[in-house]
C-alpha cells in the first residue's frame, strides 16, 4: 500500500461525509446534526483556525479517500465547556455551535496573539477511517505521522484527541501520548480505572498539555506527540497561500501535481515559487545561495534551491504552520538580531 495525503478541498466533503454517515459508531453520535456537517466543514476550511487532511491509497489525489482528519484551534472557553460535566460528543457540538454562529474557533488575530504568548488549544474534530481500511496499521501510522507533520511549529498549550469509538483506538491514543481526563479530580490520568468499553460508550476527553509533556520529557519518557510542543518563533513570514504550497511540496510533488492539489494553474504555482525565493533571499540568503552550485547547470540549480529550502522547512515547521507574519522590514531586523 502506498499512501499519500493532502489538505481537504470542498469537493472532498461529500465523500468524507459518507464515511462518517456510514461509520457504525461515529455516525450515530451526530444524529440530526449530520445534515449540517457539509456547511460547517466548508466554513472551517476557509478559516485559519481549521486544519484538514485526506489520505489516499496511492498518489492520485482523485483516488478514493481511505481516511480524513479535521482539527480546530479553539478558545479557552470551549475547552472549559468540554471539561465540565456533563460531557458531550465534540463533533456534533462543534457543528451545532458553528451553525448557530457561535463558533469557538479563534480568529486570525487571536491565533497570532495566543501563538506569541501563552499558546493555543487544538481540538481534533474528527478523524475517521474508511471501514475497509480500519484494520490496516500502516494507515494509522501514516495518519499519525501526517498529523505531527501538519501541526508542528505552533506554540501549543493543550491538545485534545478525537474521541475513541472502540477500546483498541482508546488504547492506541494512550500509547501515543494521550491521557484520559478525570472530571472528579479535574486532571488528566495516564491509567484507566474504568472498563475501556464503558469509557468509549459515552462522551470522554483524551488529551495532553504542554506542561504534562515537558514533565514526561524531563523524566526521559517523552511520547510520540512530544515533538508538537517543540516551538521556535518563525523568521520568514510566508503568506497563507505560500504556506499551503510549501506544505504540499514537502511531499516532493511536482509543480503540475501541486497545481492540481491546490486547485490553481501551473503558472500561478511557478509565480508563487518566485515570491517564496524572494522572501527567503531577503532574510536567509545563505539558505538558497550555495556558492558551490556555480558548476551546476541552470536547470539543476532550481531543483537544488528547492531541495535546500524544503530541507530547512522540515527542520523548522514553524515557518509554514503559523499565521504569524511580520512586515518585510521587521523580518529583516529580526534576522539581524539573530545574527
Q: Tell me phi and psi for residue 230, to 5 degrees.
A: -90, 105
Out of 50-59, 221-230, 317-326, pick the least confident. Answer: 317-326
pLDDT band at 42 (very low <50, low <70, confident <90, very high): very high
Per-residue pLDDT at 104: 97
Name the strand (E) or helix (H) holding 1.
none
Helix axes 266-283, 328-338, angle to 10 degrees: 50
Per-residue pLDDT at 332: 35
pLDDT band at 328 (very low <50, low <70, confident <90, very high): very low
**Contact between 103 and 87 (Cβ < 8 Å):** no
Counting every residue written for the chain, the total comes to 339
Per-residue pLDDT at 292: 54
The angle at the Cα of 11, spanning 265 to 73, to the nearest 5 degrees, equals: 95
DSSP-based three-state secondary structure for 47: coil
- Please give the grid coordinates belonging to residue 147: 498529523
pLDDT band at 326 (very low <50, low <70, confident <90, very high): very low
Average pLDDT score over residue span 229-236: 84
- The mean of the pLDDT values for the chain is 86
DSSP category for residue 65: E
Four-residue CA torsion sign, 279, 280, 286, 290 = negative
**Contact between 153 and 320 (Cβ < 8 Å):** yes
| Higher-pLDDT residue of 63, 272 | 272
> Around Cβ 18, how many Cβ atoms within 10 Å?
13
Q: What is the DSSP annotation of 91-156?
A: HHHHHHHHHTT---BPPHHHHHHHHTTT-EEEEEEEEEE-GGGTT-HHHHHHHHHHHHHHHTTS-E
Residue 338 has pLDDT above 50, yes or no: no
Average pLDDT score over residue span 306-323: 83
Q: What is the rounded CA–CA span in Å between residue 141 and residue 309? A: 26
Per-residue pLDDT at 235: 87
Per-residue pLDDT at 300: 64
pLDDT per position as a tens digit, 76-88: 999 999 999 999 9
pLDDT per position as a tens digit, 177-222: 899 999 999 999 988 888 999 999 999 999 999 999 988 876 656 6
pLDDT band at 321 (very low <50, low <70, confident <90, very high): low
Q: What is the rounded CA–CA span in Å between residue 1 and residue 140? A: 13
Average pLDDT score over residue span 1-21: 91
Four-residue CA torsion sign, 124, 130, 131, 136 = negative
Q: What is the rounded CA–CA span in Å between residue 299 and residue 219? A: 50
pLDDT per position as a tens digit, 152-168: 889 999 999 999 999 99
Per-residue pLDDT at 175: 87
Name the nearest CA neighbour of 19 among 128, 126, 135. Answer: 128
Per-residue pLDDT at 163: 96
Q: What is the DSSP annotation of 253-316?
A: --HHHHHHHHTS-HHHHHHHHHHHHHHHHHH-HHHH--GGGGGS-HHHHHHHHHHHHHHHHHH-
DSSP-based three-state secondary structure for 222: coil
Per-residue pLDDT at 290: 63
pLDDT band at 251 (very low <50, low <70, confident <90, very high): confident
Residue 6 has pLDDT above 70, yes or no: yes
Amino acid at each position: 500500500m502506498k499512501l499519500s495525503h493532502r489538505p481537504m478541498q470542498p469537493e472532498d466533503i461529500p465523500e468524507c461525509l459518507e464515511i462518517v454517515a456510514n461509520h457504525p459508531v461515529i455516525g450515530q453520535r451526530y444524529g440530526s446534526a449530520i445534515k449540517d456537517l457539509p456547511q460547517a466543514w466548508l466554513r472551517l476550511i476557509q478559516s485559519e483556525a481549521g486544519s484538514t487532511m485526506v489520505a489516499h491509497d496511492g498518489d492520485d489525489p482523485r483516488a478514493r479517500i481511505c481516511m480524513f482528519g479535521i482539527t480546530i484551534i479553539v478558545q479557552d472557553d470551549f475547552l472549559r465547556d468540554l471539561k465540565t460535566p456533563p460531557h458531550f460528543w465534540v463533533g456534533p457540538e462543534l457543528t451545532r455551535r458553528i451553525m448557530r454562529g457561535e463558533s469557538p474557533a479563534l480568529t486570525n488575530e487571536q491565533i497570532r496573539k495566543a501563538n506569541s504568548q501563552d499558546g493555543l488549544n487544538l481540538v481534533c474534530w474528527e478523524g475517521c477511517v474508511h471501514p475497509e481500511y480500519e484494520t490496516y496499521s500502516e494507515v494509522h501510522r501514516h495518519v499519525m505521522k501526517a498529523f505531527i507533520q501538519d501541526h508542528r511549529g505552533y506554540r501549543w498549550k493543550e491538545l485534545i484527541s478525537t474521541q475513541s469509538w472502540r477500546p483498541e483506538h482508546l488504547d492506541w491514543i494512550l500509547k501515543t501520548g494521550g491521557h484520559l481526563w478525570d472530571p472528579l479530580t479535574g486532571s488528566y490520568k495516564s491509567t484507566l480505572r474504568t472498563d475501556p468499553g464503558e469509557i468509549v460508550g459515552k462522551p470522554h476527553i483524551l488529551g495532553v498539555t504542554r506542561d504534562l509533556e515537558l514533565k514526561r520529557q524531563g523524566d526521559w519518557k517523552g511520547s510520540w506527540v512530544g515533538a508538537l510542543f517543540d516551538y521556535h518563533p518563525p523568521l520568514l513570514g510566508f503568506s497563507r497561500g505560500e504556506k499551503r504550497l510549501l506544505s504540499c511540496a514537502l511531499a516532493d510533488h511536482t509543480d503540475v501535481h501541486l497545481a492540481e492539489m491546490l486547485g490553481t494553474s501551473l503558472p500561478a504555482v511557478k509565480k508563487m515559487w518566485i515570491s517564496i525565493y524572494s522572501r527567503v533571499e531577503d532574510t536567509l540568503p545563505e539558505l538558497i545561495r550555495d556558492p558551490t552550485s556555480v558548476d551546476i547547470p541552470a536547470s539543476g540549480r532550481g531543483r537544488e534551491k528547492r531541495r535546500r529550502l524544503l530541507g530547512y522547512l522540515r527542520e523548522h515547521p514553524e515557518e509554514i504552520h503559523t499565521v504569524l507574519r511580520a512586515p518585510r522590514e521587521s523580518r529583516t531586523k529580526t534576522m539581524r538580531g539573530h545574527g
